[in-house]
Amino acid sequence: MASGIFAILDDIAALMDDVAMMSKVAAKKTAGILGDDLAVNAEKASGFVSSREIPVLWAITKGSLLNKIIILPIAFLLSAFLPWAITIILILGGLYLGYEGAEKIYHYFNPHQQESKKEELKEVSTKEEILALEKERVKSAIVTDFILSVEIVIIALGTVVKEPIATQIIVVSIIALIATVGVYGIVALIVRMDEAGHHLIEKSTSEKSFTNKLGEFLVAALPKVIKSLSVIGTIALLLVAGGIFVHNIEFIHHLLPEAIPSILFEFFIGLVAGFACLLLVELFLKIKKAF
C-alpha cells in the first residue's frame, strides 16, 4: 500500500518536472506574441477617462478568459485526433501575424487612415457616444485577443505535441493563464502610470521634491512606453511569423544561409510574407470597391 502511494507521488513529481521544463520552453516560444498582446492591449485600454480605464481593462480581461475557455478544448481535440491541423493553423496564423506587422509599418509611413480615426475620437462628446466607443474598443480588443490567443495556444501546444496528453493540458493551460493574468496585470500597471504620477505631484510639497519629479516622469513616460511597446510588438509579430514559416515549412527552412543569424532571417521572412499578404488584401479591397 505504502509503496503504491510512493509510486504515485513519484509519477506526480516526474510529471511536474516535465511540466516545469516544457512550460519554460513554451513560454520562450510564445514570448513574441505575448509582447505584442501587451502592446496592443496597453494601447486599446489607454485614452479613456481615468475612472473608466480599469473597468474597460476588466471587460477585455473577461473576454480574454472566455476566448481561452473556447480555444483550449478545441486545441486539445485537434492535437489528439487531427495533429496535422496544428501545423496548418500555425501557418495561417503566421500569415495573419505577418500581415498585421506589415500593416503597422505601412500605416506608420502612410498614416492618413489613423489620423482620420483620431479626428473621429475628438468628436465624441456625449455620454452615449463615449459608452458606444468604449463598447466598440472592448469588442475590437477581444477579437484581436482571440486571434493572438489562438496563436499562443497553438504555438505552446506545438512545443508539447509529442508529450502525454496530461502534460499538454497542464503546460498549455499554464501558458494561457499567463497570457491573460500576466499580460493584463502589466497592462493595468501601465495604463495607471499617469494616474499614479498625478497623485504623486498632488502630494508633493514642492516642485523640486523627489515625489514631484517622479510624478512628472511617470506622466511623461506613459505615451512613450505605449509607443515603444507598439514598436517592439511590431518587430515581435514579424519575428514570430517568420519563425513559424522557417520551422514549419521545409522549403523555407533550407533557404537559411549559414552566414546570416537565424533571427534576422526569420524577421526577413516574416516581413516578406507580411507585405505579400498586405498587397493581396489591398488588391482585393480595390477590386471589391471597383465592382
Q: What pLDDT, in 10s, does the model give residues 85-124?
A: 888 888 888 898 889 889 989 988 887 554 444 444 445 5
Query: In the prediction, which pLDDT does 8 show?
Result: 46
Q: Is the per-residue pLDDT at 9 higher than 50? A: no
Domain that holds residue 91: 16-290
256 within some domain: yes
7 within some domain: no
Tell me the average pLDDT across 135-153. 80
pLDDT band with cut points at 50, 70 and 90 for residue 47: low
Query: In the prediction, which pLDDT does 155 show?
Result: 79
Query: In the prediction, which pLDDT does 33 show?
Result: 65
Count how many residues are written for the chain: 291
229 within some domain: yes
The whole-model pTM stands at 0.70
185 within some domain: yes
pLDDT digits (tens, 9 = 90+) for 173-205: 888 888 788 888 888 788 778 778 877 888 777
pLDDT band with cut points at 50, 70 and 90 for residue 272: very high
Sign of CA dihedral 238, 240, 185, 68: positive
Closest by CA position to 167, among listed 79, 74, 70, 244: 79
Tell me the average pLDDT across 239-266. 83
132 within some domain: yes
Task: Give the number of domains in the chain.
Answer: 1
- If you average pLDDT over every residue of the chain, what do you get? 77
277 within some domain: yes
Q: Is the per-residue pLDDT at 273 higher than 90? A: yes
Query: In the prediction, which pLDDT does 35 show?
Result: 65
Q: Is the per-residue pLDDT at 276 higher than 70? A: yes
2 within some domain: no
The highest-confidence range among 35-44, 138-147, 274-283, by mean pLDDT, is 274-283
Query: In the prediction, which pLDDT does 32 show?
Result: 61
5 within some domain: no
Query: In the prediction, which pLDDT does 119 show?
Result: 47
